[in-house]
Structure 1
């Protein structure tokens, strides 16, 4: 018989929002380009909180907090993770370039690399851009990207849910940064 026990919430040693705000962040920004699902937005916030991301940029039709449906998935992470809204994706990406971010589109393109083959440099800052659930990244901003990454998929489906994809790429970068 194992002596393993599940930890109670108070045993997890989680930081409060004020401590989170003051903690050094992972040099990683997530940009949501016309992501329509409030569940996906909330789940991205929750994952960004887990990995201490610098901020989230919501673009286009992406819903913004506060909203009950976002909160259901975010569980308060909209209060801890910094975020801004930028109507135009190209403007958001140009602003990130001015701040020396490498702009990485998470998309299957003719030029995309497998994320497992991409070298993450600890000296760089990265912006990971996730696109719309159906249409992917906005066509008009494709020239703004430094590279496109995709996640290896071996089954019959050609894509992952946006929040699942976001979690995978955030983890890959968090591990290295």
Structure 2
């Protein structure tokens, strides 16, 4: 009698079953604030990652591109309908809205007081903040956040693409919850 190959790709039903198992172990709410992220492909990618990791809410801030942009849709593949999102407002207003909704707001940025992402407590209801592709988070936004974390890098490049930084931060937040 032969045993099934454990390395075969899962069938769609198996994937749904696996994802359901992870959903049952996920209790914390996760949200995002995207400040002046204008690249439509970045927006689409962030929304796709947000939907995959169960992000509840996305606040757009500054001049962020909405996920309804046709170019953003090419990357998002319709996942923007799976995540509640709000039209762009000034960044401090988005932070205020997130805090009023019970989130602890943590910017992902390189600042003098930032802690390494993996050492930053990201459990409970967390709202992660990422800033524009060119300038990062604005000073007003950083002042209104509860904490700042950075992603350690050992290579010779000084920063990540904003959609990659958001994905790393979202994944780290879920990892911390799942390993508690």
Range class of TM-score, shorter chain: 0.7 to 0.9
Closer/same/farther in 2, CA of residues 117 and 125 from structure 1, 3 Å limit: same
- The TM-score, its normalising length taken from structure 1, stands at 0.85
Q: Distance in 2 between matches of 1:78 and 1:170?
A: 16
Q: Which runs of 5+ in 1 are unaligned?
A: 15-19
Q: CA deviation at 1:12?
A: 3.1
Give per-residue Cα distances to partners, 1:66-102, cap 9 Å, x unaligned.
2221111111101111111132111110122222311
Within-5 A mapping of 1:97-176:
97-121=99-123, 124-176=124-176
1:25–1:53 Cα contact (<8 Å) kept:
no
Give aligned pairs, total.
Answer: 167
1:26–1:53 Cα contact (<8 Å) kept:
no
Q: Distance in 2 between matches of 1:176 and 1:140?
A: 28
Give per-residue Cα distances to partners, 1:10-54, cap 9 Å, x unaligned.
66338xxxxx9xxx8741101100001111110111111111111
SS in 2 for 1:153: coil
Q: Which runs of 5+ in 2 are unaligned?
A: 18-22
Q: Distance in 2 between matches of 1:64 and 1:57?
A: 10
Q: CA deviation at 1:175?
A: 1.9
The partner residue of 1:42 within 37, 44, 62 is 44
Q: Distance in 2 between matches of 1:11 and 1:70?
A: 29
For 2:82, the equivalent position in structure 1 comes to: 80
1:26–1:51 Cα contact (<8 Å) kept:
no
Q: Distance in 1 between matches of 2:87 and 2:28?
A: 20
- The TM-score, its normalising length taken from structure 2, stands at 0.84
For 2:20, the equivalent position in structure 1 comes to: none
Q: Distance in 1 between matches of 2:120 and 2:60?
A: 25
